[in-house]
Amino acid sequence: MTPTLAYLLAILVIVFVIDFTLRALPFKILEPLRDSRFVSDMAAWMPPGIMLILVMSTLVDNAHAAGDRSWAALVAAGVTVAVHLLSGRRLLWSVGIGTVCYVALLNWR
């Protein structure tokens, strides 16, 4: 049995309302706090902190998976950071070159 057009439209409207509300709510909650020192400190420290957590979890997971080649992940991470800082913080360049470096190091014998 296929759903009717009215049923599909009702689902789309409900999904739209829930999605819009969940996306707009954080901005409305933070609007009065824009001038808060806490929010400005969090805006400065959260992105590097989250990135550090992601890098550490990736390196730890990779160390278990790669075994004796875990050095390649460390070298590629260093290359990624260097390219990121030297290229004017261009994310696609640093991630792309770091990935190519990692794959090349894993396949180098």
Q: pLDDT (tens digit, 9 = 90+) per residue, 46-96?
A: 988 998 898 888 888 777 776 777 888 889 999 999 999 999 888 899 999
Give this prediction's pTM. Answer: 0.56
Looking at residue 36, the DSSP 8-state letter turns out to be: -
Tokens in use for 36? 């808060």
Q: Locate the domains of the chain by residue range.
A: 1-34, 45-109
Q: For residue range 18-34, what is the model confidence (pLDDT) as tens digits? A: 999 999 998 888 888 88
Tokens in use for 11? 């689902």
